[in-house]
Amino acid sequence: MKLKIIAAGRLKAGPEQALVGDYQKRLKPAPAGLGPLTISEIEAKRGLDGPALKSAEAQLFRDRLGDAPFVAMDERGKNLSSPDFAALIGALRDEGVRELCFVIGGADGLDADFRATARHVLSLGKLTLPHMLARAVLAEQLYRAATILAGHPYHRA
């Protein structure tokens, strides 16, 4: 199952980009049938804010997603353990989902109507993370999920 992170904003060169790149490389052999991991970025027109910005971002996300199922990453989402996250992804893979997208909104979050169309709404925790760091954390958790499903000792819980 191909994995894709679609995120608002541009990831600039730096430690977050290096981390994301590292986990992308680790997912190229597709452990447990998960991978590769690709990153797609959207950027709404400047000058928008609040609901107008969230609405514009939602349309850009819809354009990138097409018919692919997606998981909305949102502070209001369900907080899963790493093994539960792996089990969710494994179940979707076993269900025949060929590509699974994870959407990370901008600083104002995701449009409520768009979020409601997600297959799942998940949280990375109660802490507020910068959006660029959220990408790195999500990329690591996707790799961790793949290793859990493959029976690899990376996850030592």
Ranges of residues in the chain with a pLDDT under 50 are: none
Region of 125 on the Ramachandran plot (φ > 0 left; ψ -120 to 50 alpha; else beta): left
What would the pLDDT profile of 79-97 be if each residue is shown by its tens digit?
999 999 999 999 999 999 9
pLDDT of residue 77: 97
pLDDT of residue 107: 86
pLDDT of residue 118: 98
